[in-house]
């Protein structure tokens, strides 16, 4: 590639940071480094070490194009095709939701439950796995656990499996395509050598689509335009997925098992009532960092 003797990597970093800052894309410094790192194929340390090197014309053009897309509202994660979750990175596909920090709270609530002395997480199912964020985080935190990840999007499942492979947990993960628990119908213990993956499960976990259909049009463009509608839409009252999951969960849950669900900030009462009517007792309601209702944990009622 030819160089035009022009802008250095460091000067470009400063220019990108200023442009992002002016457009309110924060943290601007981090975003600028991620864009530069993605286009140049360099980590943070090399961006500093090579800061005086001039950019060639092709790299400049690629950086300017990516900056323009970012300023036009494309999310950074979609631009670079990756998103951090806990201490690891997930590759994204157009069909996967960008994993959110709120979902780390769901994983932490599950880890808190199974971190207690008389409870073991041996096998779980993650319904609507998307990029595999929840399943992979659990497999990393619980090295003895086996997981099944389902989704109705085959492209999402392919992304989840690729992420699991890159992160070294694919041997403990089965993926199945289909509608909620229906995806499990062709799952047998023979799918993998070793313990039976077929359930019953110690944990049924899901971050399902939970946005009311009439709210979707009002979402920020970064979400509405760039996240797949299948990952957002919870039907007319936002509760379709909870109905489907909770009405079948009792048949797949081990006797002392846990159902862990991410919820919308205004859905705790409705989802708790749904759980109660379908044989579950609320074990815990967990708030997010903003203090909003975010996660519900259920166990089976004693008399079930
Ligand atoms: C809110 S996203 C969550 C993705 C991922 N678990 C996460 O937390 O980042 C919901 C996921 O459910 C999947 N989904 C939607 N409807 C489904 C259905 N009927 N059966 C199975 N999965 C479904 C979507 O494709 C999407 O991947």
Over range 212-230, report the average pLDDT: 91
Q: Which residues pair with 203 in a beta bridge?
A: 124, 258
Give, in order, the Cα–Cα distances in Å from 153 to each of 125, 130, 156, 231: 16, 8, 5, 10
Q: What is the pTM of this model?
A: 0.93
**Average pLDDT over the chain, rounded to an integer:** 93
- Residue 1 above 50 pLDDT? no
Closest C-alpha among 259, 273, 264 to residue 234: 264
pLDDT band at 197 (very low <50, low <70, confident <90, very high): low
State pLDDT tens for residues 142-154. 999 999 999 999 9
Residue of minimum CA distance from atom 18 in ligand 1:
179
Residue of minimum CA distance from atom 24 in ligand 1:
231
State pLDDT tens for residues 13-54. 999 999 999 999 999 999 999 999 999 999 999 999 999 999
CA distance 276 to 246: 10
Q: 116 or 32: whose pLDDT is higher?
A: 32
Q: Is the CB of 238 under 6 A from ligand 1?
A: no
Beta carbons within 8 Å of 185's beta carbon, 6+ residues apart? 178
From 152, 204, 234, mutation site for ligand 1 pocket: most ligand atoms within 8 A of C-beta: 152
Distance 49 CA to ligand 1 centre (A): 41
State pLDDT tens for residues 49-107. 999 999 999 999 999 999 999 999 999 999 999 999 999 999 999 999 999 999 999 99
| C-beta separation of 259 from 253 below 8 A | yes
Q: Is the CB of 207 under 6 A from ligand 1?
A: yes
| C-beta separation of 176 from 153 below 8 A | no
* Domains contained in the chain, CATH given: 3-72 (1.10.8), 83-300 (3.40.50.150)
Q: Quote the pLDDT of residue 193.
A: 41
**pLDDT over 90 percentage in the chain:** 88
Structure tokens at 265: 């900030």
CA distance 32 to 256: 48
Beta carbons within 8 Å of 157's beta carbon, 6+ residues apart? 129, 149, 150, 151, 175, 176, 177
């Amino acid at each position: 590639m030819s160089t035009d003797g022009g802008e250095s990597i460091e000067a470009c970093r400063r220019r990108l940071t200023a442009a992002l800052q002016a457009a309110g894309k924060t943290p601007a410094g981090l975003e600028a480094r991620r864009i530069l790192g993605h286009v140049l194929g360099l980590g943070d340390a090399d961006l500093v070490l090579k800061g005086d090197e001039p950019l060639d014309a092709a790299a400049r053009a690629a950086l300017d194009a990516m900056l323009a897309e970012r300023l036009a509202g494309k999310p950074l994660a979609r631009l670079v095709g990756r998103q951090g979750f806990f201490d690891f990175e997930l590759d994204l596909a157009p069909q996967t939701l960008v994993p959110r920090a709120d979902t780390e709270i769901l994983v932490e609530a599950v880890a808190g439950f199974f971190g207690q002395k008389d409870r073991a997480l041996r096998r779980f199912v993650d319904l609507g796995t998307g990029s595999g964020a929840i399943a992979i985080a659990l497999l990393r935190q619980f090295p003895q656990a086996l997981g099944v990840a389902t989704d109705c999007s085959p492209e999402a499942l392919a992304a989840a499996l690729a992420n699991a492979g890159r992160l070294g947990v694919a041997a403990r993960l089965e993926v199945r395509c289909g509608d909620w628990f229906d995806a499990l119908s062709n799952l047998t213990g023979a799918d993998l050598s070793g313990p039976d993956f077929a359930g019953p499960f110690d944990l049924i976990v899901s971050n399902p689509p939970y946005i009311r259909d009439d709210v979707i049009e009002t979402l920020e463009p970064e979400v509405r335009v760039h996240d797949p509608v299948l990952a957002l839409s919870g039907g007319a009252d936002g509760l379709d997925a909870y109905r489907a999951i909770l009405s079948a969960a009792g048949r797949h849950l081990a006797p002392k098992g846990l159902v862990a669900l991410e919820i919308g900030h205004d859905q705790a009462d409705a989802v708790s009532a749904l759980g109660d009517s379908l044989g579950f007792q609320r074990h815990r309601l967990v708030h997010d960092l903003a203090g909003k209702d975010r996660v519900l944990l259920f166990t089976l009622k004693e008399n079930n």
